[in-house]
Amino acid sequence: MLLHLPIAILTTLAPIPVSDAVPKLDIAKECRFEGGSTTIVDRCSRDEAAALQQLKAEWPQFADPDRRSCFSEATVAGFASYVELIICLEMARDVSNDKTKPPRPPRAQSRPPEMSVVDKRD
């Protein structure tokens, strides 16, 4: 995983044109990379197609900086995945939403119930 870190850093620094339309990715290449039986490739294709449909519906709600950085992350090393793209965008959105929520008050510390000692002398 750490071997890809320099690539990921460099790709996030490069300006990536991301428009208002969902980017076109080569999911066939991604699914062939997954390898295995035709069942695995078919499942991969279905997952990627479902993620693409979800992205088309939700694309406008994601911020441009998140679109760019997640596109970079989802297309590292020549492979591209709509599943990875939507997961990245959802996580970025969730982090942004958490930052805008007011902090919750701390919960009161509860003490464990006191144990009574039973003397079992005969």
At 58-89, the pLDDT tens digits run: 999 999 999 999 999 888 877 889 999 999 99
What's the predicted TM-score (pTM) here? 0.64
Residue 45 lies in domain: 22-99
Q: What tokens appear for 59 in the block?
A: 């694309």
46 part of a folded domain: yes
Nearest one of 24, 21, 13 to 69, comparing CA atoms: 13
> For all residues of the chain together, what is the average pLDDT?
78
Query: Is residue 121 situated within a structural domain?
Result: no
Closest CA to 59 of 96, 33, 32, 22: 22
Q: Is residue 56 part of a domain?
A: yes
Q: What is the DSSP letter of 60?
A: G
Total of domains in the chain: 1
Here the tokens at position 105 are 């008050």
Are 58 and 20 in contact, with CB atoms under 8 Å apart?
A: no
DSSP 122: -
Q: What is the pLDDT of residue 103?
A: 65
Q: What percent of the chain has pLDDT over 90?
A: 38
